[in-house]
Structure 1
Amino acid sequence: MLTLSLIGIGCGDPQQLTLAAIDAINAADLILIPRKGTAKSDLAELRRAICAQALSNDRTRIAEFDLPVRDAGEEDYRKGVDDWHDAIAATWSEQIARHLGGEGRVALLIWGDPSLYDSSLRIARRLDPLPLIDVIPGITSIQALCAAHALPLNEIGEPFLITTGRRLREGGWPSGVDTVVVMLDGAAAFQTLDPEGLTIWWGAYLGMTDQIIMAGELAEVGSRIVAARRAARERHGWIMDSYVLKRRP
């Protein structure tokens, strides 16, 4: 029987690992670490550091592999993502067969939590043969962002919405809510909104040593966030950020 453990590891700080995550890491026969090119080598290195700190089982093997790249030129966004997931699933299956065979426990260390804006669960269900899937939840970037700002996410008795930068840019402020959490925003979509009455809490590299946070009235700090974001991307070659927007009722 083949078991695939998707282990939420938080946002980069090894101290965010839960005891369940540490147990799952040590229960694995094989840990797969994806490489996303030289620009994002920090992500693989952080996974290596987590294994070095948490792994006490000397029989657990670690294998690294190059992650397929999504075709950003595909006009049909959904089809492009679907094809990309197929390619990743094929790569996972190949690595498992090469290093483990058809039996045992393989683990992948998932940034944040496997259930939130991460496609590992969808990809796992495309594997051939289909393994038993085991999920260990982790601290999300939303939790890390709110903690960094000492921010209560929801207003008393009020809902909030989690969305993407693309959806915010294309659809504007969502109806029915005064609090919006924005993830996967490659182009600072908050710039497309009327800043009047909006407050932003922004963070990048949350939980890492290079963490950056900024907050304030959007009209006042929006341009500073854009500049800080651009400088950080140039310095690191990549950026992972998220933010909360609240609108005065």
Structure 2
Amino acid sequence: MRELLVIGIGAGDPDQVTVQAIKAMNRADTFFVIGKGDEKQSLVDLRTGILAEHVRGEYTVVDITDPPRDRTPDDYEGVVEDWHERRAAKFEAEFASEPGVGAILVWGDPSLYDSTLRIVERVLARGNVSFDYSVIPGITSVQSLAAQHRMVLNRIGEPIHITTGRRLADGLPDGVDNAVVMLDAHCTFTQVTEDDAEIWWGAYLGTPDEVLISGRLREVEDRIVTERAELRTRHGWIMDTYLIRR
């Protein structure tokens, strides 16, 4: 492979794929798609649907099975480090076997809570394959959340804090009134102590399965917990993002 394109494709809506991303996809000969098992096949189907809608020429799709990892580790950073190394080995093997221009389609934007660029740099650092790569930005779930709720993420002059459920468990930082939370598998918003907090929550943003709930946190938190559990059971996976505001 002589060149790799890391392409942000938005939160799931094919119409949110940028013109730059479409041009990049039409330059690619091979698309590397990371699969996460049968229960998340719909994620792969969304990617292939985006290709079918926007790519006009011939191309090859290479499926890469994502290595498993412990989701509740005692040593979180160590487990992720090992997972990245095993991912890099798989990418390296596929990159070496495919000629021409390759591409990886990244949910949202590659800059926000995504490991793809770290894996690509790790592959290059191993020194067994060499290629140039470019990054094409995409619409994030954060942007999609704000658009679907028809809201601004911050009030006038206030900062926005983007964090994870793991970090929110420590509480909202002092001076932070607007926190966007991603990667929260445990409904950590229920641990927020401010009784006057508000929440804007969205799952499967940009897809036909999208669900939105908003309101006073104490009034809607139980509904979100129940809805989230039912959705995860129904689909086998869930991706959700939310804004908490003091």
Q: Normalized against structure 2, the TM-score is what? A: 0.95
Query: Counterpart in 1 of 2:190?
Result: 191
Query: In the alignment, what sits opposite 2:117?
Result: 121
1:55-204 alignment to 2 at 5 Å?
A: 55-58=55-58, 60-72=59-71, 74-100=73-99, 104-127=100-123, 128-169=128-169, 171-204=170-203
Task: Give the 4+ runs in structure 1 shifted more than 4 A.
Answer: none
1:7: which partner in 2?
Answer: 7
**Alpha-carbon distance in 1 for matches of 2:194, 2:156:** 23
* Greater Cα shift, 109-118 or 128-137: 128-137
**What is the CA–CA distance in structure 2 between the aligned matches of 1:99 and 1:135, rounded to whole Å?**
19
> How far did 1:96 drift?
1.7
What is the identity, as a one-letter code, of the residue corresponding to 2:30?
A: L
Q: Is the 8 A contact 2:180 2:243 kept in 1?
A: yes
Residue of structure 2 in register with 1:238 after alignment: 237
CA contact (8 A) 1:173 1:193 kept: yes
Q: CA RMSD in A?
A: 1.2
CA distance in 1, matches of 2:137, 2:31: 17
For the Cα contact (< 8 Å) 1:68–1:88, is it kept in 2? yes
Aligned residues: 242
Q: Give secondary structure in 1 for the equivalent of 2:122.
A: coil
Distance 1:175 1:73 in 2: 27
Question: What's the secondary structure of 2:148's corresponding residue?
Answer: helix
2: CA distance, partners of 1:77 / 1:99: 33
Deviation at 1:244, TM superposition (A): 0.2
Residue deviations 1:111-148 (CA, integer Å, cap 9, x gap) = 00000011111111011424322000000000000001
Aligned to 2:44: 44
Q: CA deviation at 1:195?
A: 4.1
SS in structure 2 of the partner of residue 125 of structure 1: helix
Give the AA of the match of 1:125.
E
Q: Measure the CA separation in 2 of the matches of 1:223 and 1:61.
A: 45
Q: Contact between 2:200 and 2:215, CA under 8 Å: does it hold in 1?
A: yes
Q: Which runs of 5+ in 2 are unaligned?
A: none
Looking at structure 2, the residues matched to 96 and 71 of structure 1 have their Cα atoms a distance apart, in angstroms, of 26
Q: Which moved more, 1:154-163 or 1:73-82?
A: 73-82
Paired position in structure 1 for 2:217: 218
User: Equivalents in 1 of 2:202, 2:131: separation in Å?
Assistant: 36
Contact 1:71 1:84 in 2 (8 A): no
SS of residue paired to 2:101: strand
SS at match of 1:126: helix
Write the distance in 1 (CA, Å) between the matches of 2:72 and 2:89.
21
Which ranges in structure 1 are unaligned for 5 or more consecutive residues?
none
Match of 1:27, SS state, is: coil
State the alpha-carbon separation in 2 of the partners of residues 202 and 159 from structure 1.
19
The alpha carbon displacement at 1:34 in A equals 1.4
TM-score, with normalisation over the residues of structure 1? 0.94
Label 1:156 to 1:130 Cα distance change in 2 as closer, same or farther (>3 A). farther
Seen in structure 2, the aligned counterparts of structure 1 residues 222 and 177 have a Cα distance that, compared at 3 Å, is same
Taking the aligned partners of 1:63 and 1:124, their CA distance within structure 2 comes to: 16
C-alpha separation in 2, matches of 1:227 and 1:86: 36
CA contact (8 A) 2:7 2:110 kept: yes
Q: Aligned letter for 2:107?
A: W
- The 2-side partners of 1:212 and 1:106 are apart by 34
